[in-house]
Each structure stands twice: as structure tokens, then as C-alpha cells.
Chains A and B, each alone.
Chain A
Amino acid sequence: MRINFKNVDKNFGLIDALKNISFDIGSGDFVFLFGPSGSGKSTIIKLILSQLQPSAGQIKIGSYDLTTASKKDIDALRKKIGIIFQDYQLINDKSLEENIALNMDIAGFPSQEIPSKIDEVIKKVNLSSRRLLYPSQLSGGELQRAALARALSTDPKIILADEPTGNLDQKNSWNLVNLLKDINQKQHCTVLMATHDVEIVKSMGKKVIYLQEGRIVKNLKLN
């Protein structure tokens, strides 16, 4: 699924969070949104999720034009996107498998397909022994892999990862990034990962959108 931003501005009152942002991410691409804190990475993720509306410009995600999309279209689009947050956003009083089941139920999966799909994604992120545990019983690395398992459960066309390694140590950060890379290659889903970790960005050799103070300063591939 393509992600296309054309001359997008986003203002919060007098503050320009994004200024004249244009980029095009092709279907199946792995792209980093790179930049320091406050550069506008999360604002771009929120615009893609339609949590925020652009002040100007046009955003197209696949066939959805977010400037004209109805609420129903936005719900349908969100079902095609797997999201990973820096603070995981798992539901605290649901076990890992219940968290995944909820996501699949929202996406409209038939109830008989849910258990086998949960097995599959939990195995993929190596959390089979943790499936009945609650978020408070998981470590930071496990929580982030659990969030990835939830994102993968609906076979998303896009994975949005907002600073997913922000709360992880180096080992867990690399585990997660490698998992995302693996999924991107095998499932050909578009991955957009916001990060300020230069080591990860450099070592992956993927396309990078470099943001500073709400503007794109470089749109390049780092090695």
C-alpha cells in the first residue's frame, strides 16, 4: 500500500509542526522517519492514522484520500494498518492473546480463525510461553514484541512503528528491527518506522526521510 504526502502542513495554533511535507512511499517499502525529538515524526504517523487532520496539502494512503475520507473509510483504513507504539498501548487487563484477539475481532476476522492466527503470530515473535500473561507481567522487549504480534495478526498492508525501540535496550531493539525487516521482506507490507536511533538507521540501508523542525531536510538512502 502506497503512502503519499503532497505539500502537507500541520499547525497547532501558531506552531508549525509540519511544513510543506511531500514524500512517496511505495508499496512494500521499508522507510525510516528519522529526526530528533519534536521534528514531526509522530505527527506524520498521527496524520496517516487520521488522528490529526492536515492544515493544508493532501495525504493519500492506497486508494484512500484522507482529506476527503469518511469516518467509515478511516475505520476501514486503520484495519489495514498495524501500529506499534513506543509505550506499547496494550490493554492492561487483557492477556497477550486477548489483546491480539481484540485486534482481529475489530478487523472482522471470523472467530474460528482467531486462535490459529494467534498461534502463528505469537510463534513468529517468540512469545509462545507468554501468551496467557498480562502486559504487567511482560518485560519491555516482550511488550514490544507483543505489540508487533498484535500488529501482524491482521495481515496489515502497512506497519507504522512510532519510536518502537525508544524504551528498549540495544539487544531488544535489534531483535525488533530485524523482525520488522523480516516481515517486510516476507509479507511485502510497507513499513514506516519513526526513530531517532542513528545506528539502526545506518545499518539497515533503507530509505530515510530526515526531518528537522517539521521540514524534510533529506530524503535519501543511508548506508
Chain B
Amino acid sequence: MSTLKATWHHIRRSPFQSLTAIFVMVSSFFILSTFAVLSRGLSSVLAYFETKPEVTIFLKDGLDKNTVESLQKELANYSSVREIKFISKQKALEIYQEQNKDNPLLTEMVTASILPASFEVSVSDPTVLSQIAQNFSAKTDSIDEIIYQQDIVQNMLNWTNIIRKTGLAIAVVSALVSFFVIFIIIGMKITNRQQEIQVSRLLGASKYYVKKSFLLEGLIYGALGSFLGSSFSFSLTFYFRNQINTFFQPIEFVSTQINFYLLILLSLSIFGLMVGYLASWFGVKRYIKY
């Protein structure tokens, strides 16, 4: 009798225990996969804000060229200023049109005259940002508004860290729950099959012979649970990707690259196999004494 056949026999003889093991693994890996997607999305949001200019200074309408140039020079005098980009009203319109190219109604109604010109300033030392923001906000005659990106990035970073840590904690708890459920179910199955194990040992079966079908059973729960859980999570994510990405526009929160999902699926399947194998290994070590 092949090991696979013996394992299938064990699964068939106690289907509810097997279904419980698989259900717990599917649930755990659904949560794990969802957090992997969420984590990747949060990284995209962070990366988006980090690559944006860290201070945007909107200018009042009707400033002459000299005033704009003197403001630019003043900005350039700050140490650690990496880049100063002047966005004219016309350029602002182009950006607006590009961002809303799918919605002609919005682009038709907007002209360059209603959009403000601005400076986008990025720095290498974030501490300079507060000085720039403070000094320029005092220039009420020429400055309309200052958007201080550092606050947004810091807030995002804090939230991302909280969500990642929560995700990691849930992942660890899920993996532990899966481990113990498989451990207990394999233990119950071994207890139910004590007579078969004892007789097999008397007939000359090695310890490994009686253990291997239970080890394979744990591997099957791990592989099947992780694959189904992750696949279910990714299918849902992929199905709703357009709605999610539209909500986070212009950030691509949900990846549309199939390789990303395949890589995560492979990694989680290997992790699932490891959880299943380790749980059943501890189970047979604990319960098979002959």
C-alpha cells in the first residue's frame, strides 16, 4: 500500500477532522495573504508620498516674474535643498488634464487661470522643511498656501507600521493556531489508529513506516490550506483591483503583476508546507510511542 493511499485512507475515515484542519489552514492563509497584499499596497502609498516633493508652496495669482525668481533664489539658499521645481499655471493644467484624462467633463471645465502656480521643493534633510514652511507662510502677499508633506509621510509611516505590526502579530497567531490544530488532529488520528499502529509494528513495520502516512497528512493539510487560502485571497483582490486602484488613484495600491501573486503564493505554500510538516512531526513524536 503506498503512503499516499494510506494517508487518503486516514483522511477518508475521519473526514470532519480533516476538513477542520484544512478549514483552519485556509482561514489562516487567507488572512496572511490579505495582509501581504495590504502591506504591498501600503508600501506603494508610502513610496508615492516619499518620492513627491516634500513641500509644495502655492503662489498667489498675478505675481511678476521678478518676484517669482526672488522666491526661487530664496528657496535655493536653504541648505540641503535637493530640487526646486516651478510649476506654472499652464504646467499645472497639463498635470491636471493628465490625471483626469478619463473624465473629459472635468478637464473641459478647468482652465489654466484657475489653477495656482507653485514651487515643489524636495530636501535631503527633513528638518529644513519646517524652517521653509515657517518662513514662507509669513509671506502672505505672495504665498497662497503651503502643503507640508512631511506630516503626511510621517502619519502614513506610523499607520503603515501599526498595520504591518498588527498583520505580523495576526500572521504569527494564525500560524500558531494552524500548527496546534494540525498537531491536535494528527494526535487524535494517531490515537484512533493505535491498534493499526501496534499491529503494524508487530508485523515488522519500522517506526518511519507507521509515521510517514501521518507526516504526509500534515503536509497535505499545509499545502492544500495555504494554496486554497492564498488563492482565495488573491482571487478576491484581483477581482476588485480596479475599484481599489481607482479609490487610491494615482497610486497602484493593488498590484496588477501576476508575478507578484505567484511569488507570494509560492512563498506562502512553502510556509504552509512547513507548518503542516512541523505540526504533524511533533504530533507523531508525541503520540507514536511504539
Chain A residues packing against B (C-beta within 8 Å): 49, 51, 71-72, 75-81, 83, 89, 91-94, 98, 101-103, 105-107, 111
Across-interface contacts of B1 in A (CB, < 8 A): 98, 101-102, 105, 111
- Min distance, Cβ A152 to any Cβ of chain B, angstroms: 13
The one of B195, B196, B199, B206 in contact with A75, judged by C-beta atoms closer than 8 angstroms, is: B206
Across-interface contacts of B205 in A (CB, < 8 A): 75, 106
Contact A106:B204 (CB < 8 A) given known A93-B13, A111-B2: yes
Contact A102:B2 (CB < 8 A) given known A75-B206, A89-B195: no
A94 to B195, CA, bound (A): 12
Residue B209 CB within 8 A of the other chain: yes
- Min distance, Cβ A208 to any Cβ of chain B, angstroms: 25
Within 8 A of A (CB), among B275-289: none
A106 to B206, CA, bound (A): 8
The one of B195, B203, B207 in contact with A106, judged by C-beta atoms closer than 8 angstroms, is: B203
Interface size class of B (residues with CB under 8 A): 10 to 19
Residue B258 CB within 8 A of the other chain: no
Q: Are A78 and B13 in contact (CB under 8 A)?
A: no
- Min distance, Cβ B288 to any Cβ of chain A, angstroms: 14
Contact A78:B195 (CB < 8 A) given known A102-B1, A105-B1, A111-B2: no
Across-interface contacts of B201 in A (CB, < 8 A): 78
The 3 closest A-B pairs by CB, nearest first: A78-B204, A79-B204, A106-B205
Residue of B nearest to A83 (CB): B202
A78 to B196, CA, bound (A): 16
Q: Are B202 and A51 in contact (CB under 8 A)?
A: yes
Q: Are B195 and A83 in contact (CB under 8 A)?
A: no
Q: Are B204 and A91 in contact (CB under 8 A)?
A: no
A20 to B209, CA, bound (A): 36
The one of B196, B200, B202 in contact with A49, judged by C-beta atoms closer than 8 angstroms, is: B202
Q: Are A106 and B13 in contact (CB under 8 A)?
A: no
Beyond A51-B202, A78-B204, A89-B202, 5 additional contacts (C-beta under 8 Å) are A78-B202, A79-B203, A91-B196, A102-B200, A106-B204
A111 to B205, CA, bound (A): 16
Q: Are A107 and B204 in contact (CB under 8 A)?
A: yes
Across-interface contacts of A106 in B (CB, < 8 A): 200, 203-205, 209
Q: Is the contact region of chain B dominated by helix, strand, or loop, or is it mixed?
A: helix
Q: List 30 A-B contacts (CB under 8 A).
A: A49-B202, A51-B202, A71-B206, A75-B205, A77-B204, A78-B201, A78-B202, A78-B204, A79-B204, A80-B204, A83-B202, A89-B202, A91-B195, A91-B199, A93-B9, A93-B13, A94-B9, A101-B1, A102-B1, A102-B200, A102-B203, A103-B203, A106-B200, A106-B203, A106-B204, A106-B205, A107-B203, A107-B204, A111-B1, A111-B2
- Min distance, Cβ A216 to any Cβ of chain B, angstroms: 25
Within 8 A of A (CB), among B28-52: none
A101 to B2, CA, bound (A): 10
Across-interface contacts of A103 in B (CB, < 8 A): 203
Across-interface contacts of A101 in B (CB, < 8 A): 1
A94 to B9, CA, bound (A): 9
A72 to B204, CA, bound (A): 9
Within 8 A of A (CB), among B179-228: 195-196, 199-207, 209
Across-interface contacts of B206 in A (CB, < 8 A): 71-72, 75
Across-interface contacts of A49 in B (CB, < 8 A): 202
Across-interface contacts of B203 in A (CB, < 8 A): 78-79, 83, 102-103, 106-107
Across-interface contacts of B13 in A (CB, < 8 A): 93
Residue of B nearest to A79 (CB): B204
- Min distance, Cβ A103 to any Cβ of chain B, angstroms: 5
Across-interface contacts of A75 in B (CB, < 8 A): 204-206
A80 to B207, CA, bound (A): 17
From B2, B13, B201, B202, residue with most partner A Cβ within 10 Å? B202
Across-interface contacts of A102 in B (CB, < 8 A): 1, 200, 203
A81 to B209, CA, bound (A): 18
- Min distance, Cβ A112 to any Cβ of chain B, angstroms: 12
Residue of B nearest to A50 (CB): B202
A91 to B196, CA, bound (A): 6
From A51, A75, A76, A79, residue with most partner B Cβ within 10 Å? A75
A166 to B205, CA, bound (A): 27
Q: Are A76 and B204 in contact (CB under 8 A)?
A: yes
A98 to B2, CA, bound (A): 12
- Min distance, Cβ A31 to any Cβ of chain B, angstroms: 21
